[in-house]
Amino acid sequence: MAAASYDQLLRQVEVLKMENSNLRQELQDNSNHLTKLETEASNMKEVLKQLQGTIEEESGEASGSQLELIERLKGEENQVEPPWARFWSTQLPHWVLPAEMSLDPAGLRTRTRAPPPPSSSSSSGPNPASFPRRGAPTAGRDGHDRCLEELEKEKSLLLAELEKEEKEKDWYYAQLQNLTKRIDSLPLTENFTLQTDMSRRQLEFEARQIRSAMEEQLGSCQEMERRAQARVSRIQQIEKDIVKLGTRLQVSSPVACSPV
């Protein structure tokens, strides 16, 4: 009886030793796993800190370059004189367009110069200005030539503005297309990757900055389309005006005035 109890106790002790050994091994494995997790967490924090610093640095550089670009474009835009400003201020007071033509930004409208007030000598005799002079056709031709020159200048300025805005739009669209390609090239994985996610966020942030800068500089797509249509319409009107002036010049050129 005593021997059986002793053997049973020995077996229980062996079982307890085995369980204790298993528990120690499990505890050691858990400790190693915890250490590994702590190391990975520390590495992830370091990567996150580096990525955050990189994002802030690149964001500052991107914002600075965009602001410089906007300021430069605004400066160039302010330096461009409106096509009709110099014409109105310098040329219009010195000569008169034909009665049915007038250089107006909205198109040609009827404009006539008010007749000069009658002089005191008009009642006593004929006005010498009423008689044709030899120099009159030359003065009329000079006026037509100046008008044609100003129309050509305005047309050139409008074409330059169209080309300038198209180049700016192409630049912005090229930047957005490049960022879109870089976003699409990022690897798609089922498991979450911090570095990939931060890279995607950075590229999306840059794309938003580019869109914001483009809208601030050029306006919305509807506004850009309206400006382009207005310029094209004005250019077409200028071309019609040039044809009209050329026709009037051809009609009036054969007329010769002889001195009285």
Instruction: Tell me the C-alpha distance between 145 and 139, whole Å.
Output: 10
Report yes or no on whether pTM surpasses 0.85.
no
Per-residue model confidence as pLDDT tens digits over 65-92: 666 656 665 565 455 444 444 444 444 4
CA 91 to chain centre: 34
Instruction: Tell me the C-alpha distance between 158 and 23, whole Å.
Output: 86
Phi-psi region of 50 (alpha: psi -120 to 50; beta: other; left: phi over 0): alpha
Position 43, amino acid: N
Banded model confidence at residue 117, pLDDT cuts 50, 70, 90: very low
Domain range summary for the chain, segments of one domain joined by + = 1-60, 80-105+135-254
Top-level class of domain 80-105+135-254? mainly alpha
Per-residue model confidence as pLDDT tens digits over 85-104: 444 444 443 333 443 344 44
Residue 237 has pLDDT above 80, yes or no: yes
Cα dihedral sign, 6-7-12-14: positive
Residue 38 has pLDDT above 80, yes or no: yes
Phi-psi region of 193 (alpha: psi -120 to 50; beta: other; left: phi over 0): beta
